[in-house]
Amino acid sequence: MGGGHGGRGAQRPLQELLISRHRPAGGVQGLHCKQNVMAASDHPRPIEISRHGAHDVAIRWSSGESGVYPARYLRGKCPCATCVDEVTGKRIVTESLLPILVYPKRIEPVGRYAIQIFWSDGHSTGIYTWERLFEMLPNLPGSAASQQATVQ
């Protein structure tokens, strides 16, 4: 993992981060196994999750879309009860409260619908559903949709 940004922008498999209960025959351990981990639904689902640069997460979706989820942004969107008030729905932990350098140490599948991310800051209770991750896609920092919203 290290602190360097060697291969900045290049995608590398997250298999060192992904610990899967499913190992496809002859396949890569982790979420690259498509049908074993992904749910059959009307919503797009990840067909590949990989590392982008040193710390960010790239997801390629069954809809043909793909996105790079900056690590700190993704940590700031954690949906757990520690980060979001269960009664009011108000976000308690925001990106501005997080360490500058926060990144996934490990990612595990949760059933056929989500991933759990174990963060470098010790946090690990958030469950990121495929639906939630896909809904973030247009608003990712640097995405065409988020840049368009900034211009308007």
Position 76 in a domain: no
Three-state DSSP state, 138: helix
Burial (CB < 10 A; 0-12, 13-18, 19+), residue 116, is middle
pLDDT of residue 152: 41
Query: What's the token pair of residue 71?
Result: 């690590």
CATH number at residue 43: 3.30.2020.30
Whole-angstrom Cα distance, residue 69 to residue 55? 9
Position 87 in a domain: no
pLDDT of residue 41: 59
Position 118 in a domain: yes
pLDDT of residue 43: 83
pLDDT of residue 40: 47
Lowest mean pLDDT among 11-15, 79-83, 113-117, 128-132: 11-15
pLDDT of residue 4: 39
Q: Number of structural domains, the chain?
A: 1
pLDDT of residue 27: 29
Q: Which of 12, 107, 112, 100 is nearest to 54 (CA)?
A: 12
List of residues 6+ apart from 96 with CB closer than 8 A: none
- Domain residues for the domain of 55 are 11-21+30-71+101-151
Lowest mean pLDDT among 24-33, 88-97, 118-127: 24-33
Q: What is the pLDDT of residues 32-77, one digit of tens each?
A: 333 334 444 578 999 999 999 999 999 999 999 999 999 999 999 9
CB atoms within 10 A of CB 34: 14
Position 96 in a domain: no
Position 82 in a domain: no
Whole-angstrom Cα distance, residue 113 to residue 36? 11
pLDDT of residue 142: 81
Q: What is the pLDDT of residues 78-116, one digit of tens each?
A: 999 999 999 999 999 999 999 999 999 999 999 999 999
**pLDDT of 3 higher than 80:** no
Phi–psi pair at 95, nearest 5 degrees? -55, -35
Q: What is the mean pLDDT of residues 124-129?
A: 97
Q: Give the residue with greater pLDDT, 18 vs 150.
A: 18
Position 94 in a domain: no
Phi–psi pair at 76, nearest 5 degrees? -70, -15
Position 127 in a domain: yes
Query: What's the token pair of residue 145?
Result: 């949709």
